């Protein structure tokens, strides 16, 4: 048994860990050990990737490129390869992953299983929209090849690893001119301006996102929008990554640091600028500090990410910000973003038309859980949903209300696979 935690470090749980490295032997291996859960990079914040007391199939040695057609941008690879490693091969050849989350230290399989979204949802949808084929192995030893349009494909995209283990994924990449993005950054003072900026940017800007100050409760923040650039610049030297060396005895994100940091960040960024940024620093700034999740101290942290339908978005986000400000909790890492109209492929995909708010919270036990209960009420009333990839505590009724295709999904589950999350939210 080895101790495994997810990104939120809310607990360190005993697991058996088996590494998969030869995709041809995966059907045999899964049949021999007919109960477990795929585990990629553990970049999910909560319990979707954990199976305490049970088995995890570590997929990160399934990391081979299988075929890349440079003329069409069609890539077939093993599911344990990191997004970073795909990008470093395809970007110099004029292609890019069409959707990327805030970290590139995640696997392709993890990105499909959570159907992750990026800053370009309004033009590109989520990760699953660009998947052309999945090779899925089930614990009965069977292998199926899934395509868009198949019910099992829709169950597997965003399927939280519960329909089988993906060994191979084929993706359609996006054409780009180079690794640079032209980035426009500007402050906003309230949520109305945020929505005006977001709506006004959707037609002409591929990537939009904003940082929001969760301390004031007023909804001020910094809006960023970007387009791929044709600029040819010398590539930046690959920065040596810093690492948060230890877990401090108390969280560094606390009442004393929260207010000054949010204030400082806003002041530093409040001048409107247009800059050229390398894709790694624009899309994945947090990857530069390895193990940054340690800064939340020994009790770890939660992320609370919701999406609210557009018609209730403004009031709902305002109400959540007010609750958060009143509670004195929150962090520097608060993101507000709109999703486009495109419906997601997956039965349990998170992304849906509306506005999404994501915030990290130091785990302060009951105090934090009480805040989440009040945020849950706002999400429930607005007809919204929470993101399983970030969750470790949402109530089952909120999950069921937020994911109306749950019953349809359940018929596609692999009976030999379960997670702490599936036991908590689906009963098995």
- Both tokens of 124, joined, read 């590109």
Across the strands, what pairs with 58?
A: 19, 39
Task: Give the other-Cβ count within 10 Å of 355's Cβ.
Answer: 24
Closest CA relative to residue 171, chosen from 208, 206, 124, 203: 124
- Both tokens of 138, joined, read 């089930």
Spell out the residues 6+ positions from residue 275 whose beta carbon is closer than 8 angstroms to its own.
182, 183, 185
Closest CA relative to residue 163, chosen from 423, 417, 422, 350: 417
Q: Which of 46, 109, 187, 297 binds ligand FAD (CB under 6 A)?
A: 109
Contacts to ligand FAD from residues 234-293, by CB under 6 A: 286
113 or 347: whose CB is closer to ligand FAD? 113
Q: Look at the alpha carbons of 248, 253, 259, 264 in this order and tell me if their dihedral is positive or negative.
A: positive
Residue 282: CB minimum distance to ligand FAD, A: 12
- Please tell me whether residue 422 binds ligand FAD under the rule CB under 6 A: no
Residue 117: CB minimum distance to ligand FAD, A: 5
- Both tokens of 163, joined, read 């329909």
Q: Which of 37, 81, 131, 348 binds ligand FAD (CB under 6 A)?
A: 37
Q: Which of 10, 26, 30, 41 binds ligand FAD (CB under 6 A)?
A: 41
Stretch that binds ligand FAD, among 160-168, 211-219, 339-347, 395-403 (CB under 6 A): 160-168
Q: Look at the alpha carbons of 173, 174, 177, 182 in this order and tell me if their dihedral is positive or negative.
A: negative
Residue 144: CB minimum distance to ligand FAD, A: 13
Identify whether the C-beta of residue 350 lies closer than 8 Å to the C-beta of residue 387.
yes
282 or 319: whose CB is closer to ligand FAD? 282
Q: Which of 106, 131, 321, 334 binds ligand FAD (CB under 6 A)?
A: 106
- Please tell me whether residue 43 binds ligand FAD under the rule CB under 6 A: yes
Which residue has 């990537």 as its token pair?
207
Residue 354: CB minimum distance to ligand FAD, A: 15
List Cα–Cα distances, 340 to 322, 335, 356, in angstroms: 25, 16, 11
- Please tell me whether residue 110 binds ligand FAD under the rule CB under 6 A: yes
Residue 316: CB minimum distance to ligand FAD, A: 20
- Length of the chain (residues): 428
- Please tell me whether residue 116 binds ligand FAD under the rule CB under 6 A: yes
Beta-strand runs (E) in 348-410: 354-362, 385-386
Stretch that binds ligand FAD, among 102-110, 191-199, 253-261, 408-416 (CB under 6 A): 102-110
# chain residues binding ligand FAD, by CB under 6 A: 32
The contact set with ligand FAD (CB under 6 A) reads: 7, 37-44, 48-49, 59, 79, 101-103, 106-107, 109-111, 113-114, 116-117, 160-161, 165-166, 286, 389, 419
């Amino acid at each position: 048994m080895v101790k495994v935690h997810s990104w939120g470090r809310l607990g360190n749980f005993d697991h058996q860990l088996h590494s998969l490295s030869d995709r041809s032997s995966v059907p045999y291996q899964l049949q021999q050990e007919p109960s477990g859960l795929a585990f990629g990079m553990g970049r999910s914040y909560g319990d979707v990737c954990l199976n305490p007391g049970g088995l995890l199939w570590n997929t990160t040695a399934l990391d081979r490129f299988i075929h890349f057609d440079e003329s069409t941008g069609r890539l077939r690879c093993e599911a344990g390869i990191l997004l970073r490693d795909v990008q470093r091969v395809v970007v110099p050849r004029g292609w890019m992953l069409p959707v990327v989350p805030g970290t590139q230290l995640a696997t392709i399989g993890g990105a499909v299983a959570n159907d992750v979204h990026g800053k370009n949802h309004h033009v590109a949808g989520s990760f699953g929209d660009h998947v052309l084929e999945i090779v899925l192995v089930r614990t009965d030893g069977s292998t199926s090849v899934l395509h868009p349009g198949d019910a099992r494909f829709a169950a597997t995209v965003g399927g939280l690893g519960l329909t089988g283990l993906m060994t191979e994924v084929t993706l359609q990449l996006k054409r780009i001119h180079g690794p640079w993005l032209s980035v426009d950054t500007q402050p906003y003072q309230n949520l109305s301006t945020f929505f005006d900026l977001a709506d006004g940017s959707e037609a002409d800007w591929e990537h939009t996102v904003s940082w929001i100050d969760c301390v004031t409760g007023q909804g001020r923040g910094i809006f960023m929008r970007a387009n791929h650039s044709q600029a040819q610049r010398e590539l930046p030297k690959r920065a040596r990554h810093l690492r948060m060396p230890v877990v401090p005895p108390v969280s560094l994100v606390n009442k004393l640091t929260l207010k000054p940091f949010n204030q400082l960040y806003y002041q530093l960024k409040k001048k409107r600028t247009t800059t050229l940024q390398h894709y790694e620093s624009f899309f994945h700034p947090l990857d530069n500090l390895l193990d940054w999740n340690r800064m939340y101290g020994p009790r770890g942290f939660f992320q609370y990410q919701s999406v609210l339908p557009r018609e209730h978005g403004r009031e709902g986000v305002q109400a959540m910000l007010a609750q958060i400000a009143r509670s004195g909790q929150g962090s520097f890492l608060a993101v507000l973003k709109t999703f486009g109209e495109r419906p997601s492929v997956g039965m349990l995909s998170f992304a849906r038309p509306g506005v999404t708010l994501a915030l990290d919270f130091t785990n302060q036990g009951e105090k934090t859980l009480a805040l989440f209960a009040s945020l849950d009420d706002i999400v429930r009333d607005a007809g919204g949903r929470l993101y399983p990839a970030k969750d470790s505590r949402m109530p089952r009724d909120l999950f069921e209300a937020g994911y109306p295709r749950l019953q349809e999904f359940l018929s596609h589950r692999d009976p030999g696979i379960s997670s702490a999350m599936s036991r908590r939210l689906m009963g098995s």
